[in-house]
Amino acid sequence: MTKVSSLGYPRLGENREWKKLIESYWARKISQEDLFAEAKQLRLAFLKKQADAGLDLIPVGDFSLYDQILDLSVQFNIIPKRFAKDENDIDLYFAIARGNKENVASSMKKWFNTNYHYILPEWSKQKPQLTNQRLLDLYVEAREVVGDKAKPVITGPITYVALSTGVEDFTAAVKSLLPLYRQIFTELVEAGASYIQVDEPIFATDEGADYLEAAKAVYAYFAKEVPQANLIFQTYFEALINAEVLSDLPVAAFGLDFVHGLEDNLAAVESGLFKDKEVFAGVVDGRNVWANDFVSTSQLLTSLQDKVGSLVIQPSCSLLHVPVTTNNETDLDPVLQKGLAFADEKLLEIKLLADELDGIDNPVYQEHIAQYDALQQADFRNVALENIDEVATRRSSDFAERHQVQQDKLKLPLLPTTTIGSFPQSQEIRRTRLSWKRGNIGDQAYTDFIKAEIERWIRIQEDLDLDVLVHGEFERVDMVEFFGQKLAGFTTTKLGWVQSYGSRAVKPPIIYGDVQHIQPLTVEETVYAQSLTDRPVKGMLTGPITITNWSFERTDIPRAQLFNQIGLAIKDEIKLLEDADIAIIQVDEAALREGLPLRKAKQKAYLDDAVHAFRIATSSVKDETQIHTHMCYSKFDEIIDSIRELDADVISIETSRSHGDIIESFETAVYPLGIGLGVYDIHSPRVPTKEEVVANIERPLRQLSKEQFWVNPDCGLKTRQEKETVAALEILVAATKEVREKLGN
């Protein structure tokens, strides 16, 4: 019988129970003992659910109280130096992730090309050592529930070090961890682990080619030191790099992604590289929500079965990246709802695929195929759209000319201050929105409430003496979901939450049809805010690439076509704002870098498509209309040319959590446009000191022109509390004025 496995399960819970638990502890509403006890109940419930779904191998160790990479850092004693005096407990763990009064948080980076963020390990000559038995304890706990189906999961040493910062000698760092992994593996085997999943996704990237010799040495070491450990060398998000070399590693099995790395991984299998190997085949998409095409997948599995030593069926990656279940989505169109598969449905899919491969006739398999076909034939994917060839893709004047026109109109001071767009969404705002959605208050009462919040925050911004204001986005749950609720071709869910970072969850909309602008999206709130002040108020939009990357996108058309459809819709909204005399319009592309393919050979086409779609959205405006954009957590040196090609008048960028490293991308490149490098970290509750903000303003001014520089936080302020937000912005403005005085302005 064909075995079925999974790589990881969503932590959030069906109703975000995990998020609420963590935040209750941060707010000191529950004790440490309650935190641990309730977290255990969640873990056990998740294990039981996966066992009931028929999994033969159930992941253990994927559950975390914040992030799985942070778990390893604390376990291995890779503690940032500034936290060295803190007791190694759960509060230190959270402090590394979120910062505290004394110390800034560790940097946060995207997990490869996903919207999940991990906490960057910081090496600074610490001596790696095991500080706890976390994975062993979780495995022993899991065995009591699911027996020998429990499969420990751990990020491998090469990927862990490759994703770290401060590593002076890569080989030495990896070697220093090997005895720790050996001890972990030995204890797991002695406790009864039949397999151990070792995640090495770095070997699905081009960078992995640099670590082939390291892989040979590391896995030879494990084979010698813990020969009884059946290790699964697990990759995902792309094909295995250099399968000719890596397929010879002395491991028990290989986990390969046959969704996002189908072509190359299939070629490697067909060449005979895995004919004597056990392959864990990721054939169900762990990153998107569409039901699997059973006909083509069953054909693929039949082909694989004949060309590998043995076959295990699983999702392409951890199900962390999708919501929990479609059972709650009763308001969706029935054809659409039955054409979706969240985590629980994907577990059913792999079981049905295994049964079909084993010749077990299951009527649910045929029912699934009928539902899949019904979605493909639905009549919402062929809408007449504007002719893309008739839309401007270049501004009518170059930046230098536009900049002078804009400055004459806006009359902004040196180092203009602004924010990224959103302000704190208080409990009152959330309660009022929920009451409105439930019909407990009427549309006019809700509109009046939102307008009152907008006016209150316009006054706060004026009192703070910010130069360019925002309306605060109080009407928006999320910067992408909001647009998904108003554009044709999108739908949104009730409980389709996905973890982004820490306890932050997002509810990505689903793009199921052709996208169109069918109503004003942001005009009413923006125009109202502008009517309250003489200072410019930015119109706030999300760009086509970010909307795509932070949605569950349709896969039946090329991505470039989808980018362009959304670009046309945003263009129409920009025209409405411009006609309403909104002089500054920000089109956020926070996720542009996130969607970059992992292989360099595929990156240029993506970036060209992204730039084209952004220009479709923004190039039709007048010279005096100033276009801003925003990006976060990126390796900007990789895409600096494409950022320049966007031709946005001003770009704001996260730099504070990277402790200034990102600034180097712009210090060493000729970047002629306006730029705001985030001067404090909004993902931490910590209020910065004025000295820190002054330093964060002055450093880039050593290379960048003072005329092109803007001052802003590094991201939106929605998740922060009002008191800390106002305090931090007071410091931002005071620091800016101090630097202006130093510059003689």
- List residues with catalytic annotation: 683
Here the tokens at position 79 are: 């503690």
State the CB neighbour count (10 A cutoff) for residue 438: 8
Do 584 and 540 form a contact (C-beta atoms < 8 A)?
A: no
E-strand ranges in 668-719 read: 674-677, 709-710
Do 711 and 736 form a contact (C-beta atoms < 8 A)?
A: yes
In this structure, the strands spanning 626-631 and 510-517 are unpaired
Element (H, E) at 197: strand 196-199
CA 353 to CA 346: how far, in whole Å?
A: 10
Contacts of 28 (CB under 8 A, 6+ apart): none
Q: Of 281, 284, 218, 283, whose CA–CA distance to 251 is shortest?
A: 218
Cα torsion 82, 84, 90, 95 to 10°: value is 0
DSSP 440: S
State the CB neighbour count (10 A cutoff) for residue 103: 17
CA 664 to CA 702: how far, in whole Å?
A: 11
What are the binding residues for 5-methyltetrahydropteroyltri-L-glutamate? 16-19, 110, 115, 550, 594
Do 617 and 578 form a contact (C-beta atoms < 8 A)?
A: no
What are the binding residues for Zn(2+)? 630, 632, 654, 715
Q: Of 301, 321, 311, 178, whose CA–CA distance to 255 is shortest?
A: 311
What are the binding residues for L-methionine? 420-422, 473, 588
**CA geometry: angle 139, 142, 146, nearest 5 deg:** 130
DSSP 281: E
The answer for 91, left when phi > 0, alpha when psi is -120 to 50, beta otherwise, is alpha
DSSP 626: E
What are the binding residues for L-homocysteine? 420-422, 473, 588
Do 113 and 498 form a contact (C-beta atoms < 8 A)?
A: no
What is the identity of the amino acid at 572? Answer: D
Q: Of 511, 496, 122, 557, whose CA–CA distance to 324 is shortest?
A: 496
What are the binding residues? 16-19, 110, 115, 420-422, 473, 550, 588, 594, 630, 632, 654, 715
Here the tokens at position 138 are: 């979780």
CA 277 to CA 446: how far, in whole Å?
A: 61
E-strand ranges in 285-349 read: 310-315
Instruction: Give long-range contacts, CB 8 A cutoff, 24+ apart: 436-445.
Output: none
CA 143 to CA 150: how far, in whole Å?
A: 6
Contacts of 84 (CB under 8 A, 6+ apart): none
SS3 for 119-133 is: ECCECCCCCCCCCCC
**How far from chain centre, in Å, is Cα 711?**
25
Here the tokens at position 29 are: 């509403």
Do 514 and 381 form a contact (C-beta atoms < 8 A)?
A: yes
Write b or e for each residue in 588-608: b if 16 or more Cβ atoms lie within 10 A of its Cβ, otherwise e.
bbbbbbbbbbbeeeebeebbe
DSSP states along 377-407:
T-SSS------GGGS--S-SS-HHHHHHHHH
Here the tokens at position 566 are: 């959304």
Q: Give the C-alpha distances (Å, rounded to integers) separating 359 from 2, 356, 726.
A: 10, 5, 64
In this structure, the strands spanning 487-491 and 510-517 are antiparallel
Q: In a 3-state reduction of DSSP, which class is residue 178?
A: helix
Helix 443-464 × helix 722-742 angle, to 10°: 30
Contacts of 272 (CB under 8 A, 6+ apart): 307
